[in-house]
Amino acid sequence: MLNEFKEIVKEKVKEIQQEVYLKDEILEKIVALFLSLKNDRFPGKKPPKGLLFYGPPGTGKTLLMKTLAKKLNLSDPIMIRGPEIISQYYGKSESRLRQIFALAKERAEEENLAIIFIDELDSLAPSRDLTKGELEPRLVGQLLSLMDGLEREISKGNVVVIGSTNRPEALDPALRRPGRFDLEIEFDPPDADQRKEILKILLNNYVKGRYENINLDEIADQTIGFTGADLLQLLNESLLQAVLKSRDFITQEDLLHAKNSVKPSALREFHIEKPRDRSNEIKDKEIIDRIMQVAEGFSRKPHFKPILLTHELLFSDKIASTIAFMVCQRLHCPYLVVRATWFRTRWFGEMERSIRKLFEKINRLQPCIVYIKNIDAIASFGNEHIHGAILELLDNLNNFSDNNTKVLLLCSTKDKDKLDQEIKTYLKELI
Ligand SMILES: Nc1ncnc2c1ncn2[C@@H]1O[C@H](COP(=O)(O)OP(=O)(O)O)[C@@H](O)[C@H]1O
Ligand SMILES: [Mg+2]
């Protein structure tokens, strides 16, 4: 019996993977959960009431939910969008939520399982400490009490709430406690192998038979930072290119060409840029020599090399771009530009998390060149607000240095004397 169930799960996972790419382990868990709930055979005592899908936009959260419902023959999920509940039903938002839950309960009693899908959950249930509005705290409270009430009020069957968000840290923490959104599923931007799998799916589903001589490995390698949605846009763009050339199939060239007009969304905050040789704007012979020395050293043997650029900011941009240009000519590695001031606009507590995310990303992209502009925005001393950011930064610098991570890290600052002392021990080499 158990073996039979396992086989069915495996089979369904394969079917789902024809439409949406997600790792086997994750899919197996979700499929097993929904199948057992649907057949009223959940092995434990208390099935999870809520699932949280989180990750950047365009990574397949909505697609997975729709595909699950279709392939597992679940009844149509009741879909709500956070922003819609807030604006469209203004003044009636709470009663609208109650209606939805009432509908779901009816359905669960008839069909064993009902799913509520709340897209952009963060807009409906932001952390109550952070919002200034009056409505949102009431809505969070309403959602919590509706979820808590499910058990008591349902005589038969289960209601599962799936919430989707790209800002999990902005959610009210109460939502993430046991008995609410119990099961969290992370949707990462795909790496090269995963991009290849997604491309296969998209080509098969949208471009069937209308492509020739495509080298998927090359496309996957060259689409760093692309999400599934970006890859779909890449295909659409290529189809358009082909039509403009009066062809009814796409080629490798179309894809490579289209790549220039699609910007990878996973890296929007941290732009991958094309470095330019700006040595003619620098002129100073001594600086040019240093630039060549650094570029040469890193290209020959990539290693962790942090450098502080201490000139006028616009001048530091030129230095960074020129170093990156020289390295990229030999290593063909990405050049990531980050504005440290961007972290300052984050929600409270999100600054640390964003910094951690950035370093995780850098780690995945290595060997690479990273240029953090205005590092003082997150690393100057005597500012309580950024104390956490400094610790996070130190932690990551330490880690990169211990593991000799292959990163050429360029940081610029207006005023090096303002930097935190410990940060300075990592950034003591100057240009
Ligand atoms: N993991 C994936 N596998 C296959 N296609 C994907 C994947 N992620 C995104 N896509 C493509 O991008 C489209 C938009 O994704 P969507 O599910 O709306 O993203 P999200 O809800 O995470 O913002 C999908 O309809 C699909 O064509
Ligand atoms: Mg979505």
Q: Which of 17, 19, 20, 123 to mutate to test the pocket of ligand 1 (most atoms within 8 A of CB)?
A: 20
> Mean pLDDT in the chain?
89
**Which residue has the CA at smallest separation from atom 25 of ligand 1?**
63
What are 427's two structure tokens?
A: 């950034």
Integer angstrom CA distances of residue 174 from 125, 128, 129, 311, 355: 10, 9, 11, 47, 24
Q: What is the pLDDT of residue 131?
A: 63
Output the CA 104–ligand 1 centroid distance in Å.
26
The number of the ligand nearest the C-alpha atom of 58 reads 1
> pTM, whole model, 2 decimals?
0.69
CA dihedral 357, 363, 367, 370 (to 10 degrees): 30
Under DSSP, the state recorded for 211 is B
Rounded to 5 degrees, what are φ and ψ at 51? -120, 140
Who lines ligand 1 at CB under 6 A? 20-22, 57-63, 187, 198, 201, 228-229, 232
Output the CA 313–ligand 2 centroid distance in Å.
38
Output the CA 307–ligand 2 centroid distance in Å.
40
Q: What is the pLDDT of residue 348?
A: 55
Within the chain, all domains assigned CATH 3.40.50.300 are found at 2-186, 271-426
Within the chain, all domains assigned CATH 1.10.8.60 are found at 192-264
The number of the ligand nearest the C-alpha atom of 120 reads 2
Q: What is the pLDDT of residue 266?
A: 57
pLDDT in tens, 95-104: 999 999 999 9
Q: Which of 63, 65, 167, 226 to mutate to test the pocket of ligand 1 (most atoms within 8 A of CB)?
A: 63
pLDDT in tens, 23-36: 999 999 999 999 99
The number of the ligand nearest the C-alpha atom of 26 reads 1
Output the CA 58–ligand 2 centroid distance in Å.
7
Please answer whether residues 397 and 426 qualify as being in contact, where contact means their C-beta atoms are separated by less than 8 angstroms.
yes
- Please list the rounded mean pLDDT of every run of 10 residues in the chain (431 residues): 89 97 94 92 84 92 95 93 79 90 94 94 78 77 92 85 87 88 88 92 94 93 86 95 92 92 68 83 94 96 96 92 94 87 65 87 90 91 84 94 95 92 91 92
Q: Which CATH entry fits the domain spanning 2-186: 3.40.50.300, 2.40.30.30, 3.30.70.260, 3.40.50.1820? A: 3.40.50.300
Neighbours of 149 (CB within 10 A): 12
The CATH code that applies to domain 271-426 is: 3.40.50.300
Output the CA 228–ligand 1 centroid distance in Å.
5
Continuous segment of H or E residues that includes residue 85 = helix 82-87
Topology of the domain comprising 192-264: Helicase, Ruva Protein; domain 3 (1.10.8)
**Which residue has the CA at smallest separation from atom 6 of ligand 1?**
228
pLDDT in tens, 362-409: 998 889 999 999 999 899 988 777 888 899 999 999 999 999 999 999
Output the CA 83–ligand 2 centroid distance in Å.
13
Ligand 1 atom with the smallest distance to the CA of 21 is 3
Under 8 Å CB-to-CB from 176, ≥6 apart: which residues?
A: 52, 168, 184
